[in-house]
Structure 1
Amino acid sequence: MTDTTTAPHPTRVPTPRATPARRASGWLSAHPRFRLAFLLSAPLFWLGVVYIVALVLLLVTAFWKVDTFTGEIITEWTFDNIVTVLTGALYQTVTLRTVGVALLVTVIDVAIALPIAFYMAKVATPRAQRFLVIAILMPLWASYLVKAYAWRSVLSQEGILEWLLTPFGLHTPGYGLTATVITLSYLWLPYVILPIYAGLERVPDSLLEASADLGGKTWRTLASVVLPLAFPAIIAGTIFSFSLSLGDYITVNIVGGANQMLGNLVYTNVGAANNLPLAAAIALIPIVIIFGYLALVRRTGALNNL
């Protein structure tokens, strides 16, 4: 007996309409490079407007001057501010002090960060690694001002550090350059530890084992194997600590006593003196220094593998 029942006719799914948005989406999916460029165009445009344009305007402002009677900015080209900054004894002294503090903070942070980062990357267990990373990140969640004022309390003549040192006949350094270096070293230490930790984590453990098998002692392995491979990461950490210390002025106001750095001179000329062109000329000093530092670092090839 023949089955005369017929199968149900399949329902036809309508073809989606080719709207301009669908065509653009299909074209972008077929061209990943253009898709990446489209995604990055907005943040790169914002970065260009906020950062590059701001630097150009700062450079232009440095070549203007201020009317001594009215305090208004006169948009006439002059090199007076640049000459004042380059030849003034005050600006030379403050520049040397600022660079010295930034270098000292960088050296201290690297010396502290290297053993911590090495322990995290090569010694600690995975669980301990996660705990240490959280412990290093936690200070970044606190306010910058809270941490600076906390160190002001610790380093004061009536602070806890004075109470701990008094039985040994010692005293706190008080407010000044020493307090500035201590506070800045604490503030920027996480920014130095994390890049070095990331760089050391990429060092293969097999190289350390090979060095040990060939009779290399601990310090020999660190100097000949670990440090050359971690050098780019160390340089990345120094860029953070050096540049951030070079432009800082809040910490100096809080714990620096009467000492000034370049950031303080910029703040003074913008606020109290109302001399924006001179402040812009002073601000060019740390910009030139950090660009020179980056150029020097790049010539060594340390940034090629970052």
Structure 2
Amino acid sequence: MTTAPSAGMTRRSAAYLATHPRVRLALILSAPLTWLALVYVVALALLLVTALWTVDGFTGQISPTWTLDNLRTVVTGALYRTVTLRTVGVALLVTVIDVVIALPIAFYMAKVASPRAQRLLVIAVLMPLWASYLVKAYAWRSVLSQDGLLNWLVAPVGLQGPGYGLPATVITLSYLWLPYVILPIYAGLEKVPNSLLEASADLGAPPWRTLSSVVLPLALPAIIAGTIFSFSLSLGDYITVTIVGGTSQMLGNLVYTNVGAANNLPLAAAIALVPIVIIFGYLALVRRTGALDNL
């Protein structure tokens, strides 16, 4: 049975929370934010600490001896600079391809298609996400192989598919991350009032002018939000390049190699910091555009 003092305290607490919405919101978010801090912030801190350790050359065991050698190797090594530039180049190319493909699809979904067609198109965009990542990557490996579907289609006109390598990696990653780019752009374009498009047309602006001067400026935060997904996911990927990349290497491959075959976890941690620093820099660059509000 609840005593009078405890009941009064409960009523006072409820009254206080009812009149202080910020305190109520802080209490609601405290558990997930604590979990987020433990999983991400602490994990990143441990990653940085591991990058400052060494590996004993005789025993192969990790030694908690502090050193900057791993970071210095990653920053000054020609191999790591080359792979970093290659990884960033692939991520940027995938992002550009996805935006070019996603824009007309998202615009049609948001402004042209009927409500029924919109629902069907959203389902069509989401359907690839129901399949396993590995299934889709190996499907593209089959398509791009020497005896695959692509070579069979272009052989009659004397052409040949790209085979395995960086072009195959770009194609596969562009396919994998395209839904993540379409959906934010579609959500952003839905917020663009149709009255603005009608006013632009009434004032005599051609469609390309309406698109460049009205639609794109308003949809820019949503477009940048989509690029965050494609750029960051491509930057950290290592499975696709392993499946269809041939002998090509990206940063994820170097991390995987040093964790597994080389058994050099500190160097792997130092390499893993490179894409983390790049994506944090990218997020800081686009923060003022309002793109993060569209995620």
Q: 1:122 aligns with which of 106, 111, 115?
A: 111
- Whichever residue aligns with residue 131 of structure 1, its letter is L
**Which residue is 1:262 aligned to?**
251
Separation in 2 of the partners of 1:293 and 1:43? Answer: 25
Q: 1:139 aligns with which of 128, 138, 161?
A: 128
Contact persistence 2:225–2:292 (CA under 8 A) = no
**Mapping 1:142-181, distance limit 5 Å:** 142-181=131-170
**Which residue is 1:219 aligned to?**
208
**Which residue is 1:42 aligned to?**
31
Separation in 1 of the partners of 2:31 and 2:50? Answer: 27
**Which residue is 1:297 aligned to?**
286
Q: CA distance change for structure 1 residues 42 and 20 in 2, over 3 Å: closer, same or farther?
A: farther
**Which residue is 2:263 aligned to?**
274
SS at match of 2:81: helix
Give the structure with the higher percent helix.
Answer: 2
Q: 2:219 aligns with which of 203, 223, 230?
A: 230
Pairwise CA distance, 1:20:
7.7
SS at match of 2:291: coil
SS at match of 1:175: coil
**Which residue is 2:199 aligned to?**
210
**Which residue is 1:199 aligned to?**
188
Separation in 2 of the partners of 1:20 and 1:111? Answer: 62
1:110 correspondence with 2:110: no
Separation in 1 of the partners of 2:291 and 2:133? Answer: 29
- Whichever residue aligns with residue 196 of structure 1, its letter is I
**Mapping 1:29-108, distance limit 5 Å:** 29-108=18-97
**Which residue is 1:244 aligned to?**
233
SS at match of 1:68: coil
Pairwise CA distance, 1:305:
5.8
SS at match of 1:171: coil
**Which residue is 1:9 aligned to?**
none
* Unmatched 5+ stretches in structure 2: none
Q: CA-atom RMSD, angstroms? A: 1.8
- Whichever residue aligns with residue 243 of structure 1, its letter is S
**Which residue is 1:3 aligned to?**
none
Separation in 2 of the partners of 1:40 and 1:305? Answer: 18
Pairwise CA distance, 1:159:
1.1
Separation in 1 of the partners of 2:266 and 2:8? Answer: 51
Q: Which moved more, 1:31-40 or 1:59-68?
A: 31-40
* Unmatched 5+ stretches in structure 1: 1-14
Separation in 2 of the partners of 1:257 and 1:117? Answer: 33
SS at match of 1:162: helix
SS at match of 2:48: helix
Separation in 2 of the partners of 1:151 and 1:20? Answer: 66
Pairwise CA distance, 1:27:
4.6
